[in-house]
Amino acid sequence: MRFALLAVLLLPLVVEAATYKCRDARGNWTTQACFALPPADLSESPYQRWLRDRQPALLARNAARDKLGPYCFRLDRLSSFYDCVDGQLKIYDEIQRIKASLPADSLPQRHLQDCLARNVDALSGAIDYRLSLECYNKP
């Protein structure tokens, strides 16, 4: 009797064994698709290439955003923190566009770099991009 009771209790464990299903080429979920060979063309897609090429710029933008957080919080604790960071990042994007359009070792490029260096916050290490853009646009 004990053996029968033990078999009845263990039966659901055996029946519920894991079964894997994979998606086949037509989009159907089948077990057989897990045993099929991967497609022959595993080359990089244009989207993957675009992401890889854009990754350094995204990392730089994220680093600038992370530095702007404490700076914006100290700037005005009663104002909207997110509006400050978003506004600064919009100007950051504009400065990056300007930087990309300038020749490498030109006078305007050096002037922009000087304006960026002049407006670094000592405590957070963040750059006030609004003041930097105003500095750059002054004649």
Going from N- to C-terminal start, the domains of the chain cover: 2-35, 46-137
Q: What is the pLDDT of residues 123-132, one digit of tens each?
A: 888 999 999 9
Q: What is the pLDDT of residues 30-67, one digit of tens each?
A: 888 888 776 677 788 889 999 999 999 999 999 999 99
Q: What is the rounded CA–CA span in Å between residue 87 and residue 72?
A: 10
Percent of the chain residues past pLDDT 90, beyond the cut: 47
User: What's residue 15's pLDDT?
Assistant: 47
Query: Which pTM does this prediction carry?
Result: 0.64
Beta strands in the chain (DSSP E): 22-23, 29-30
Q: Is the CA virtual torsion 120, 118, 90, 48 positive or negative? A: negative
Q: What is the mean pLDDT of the chain?
A: 84
Selected residue with higher pLDDT from 118 and 42: 118
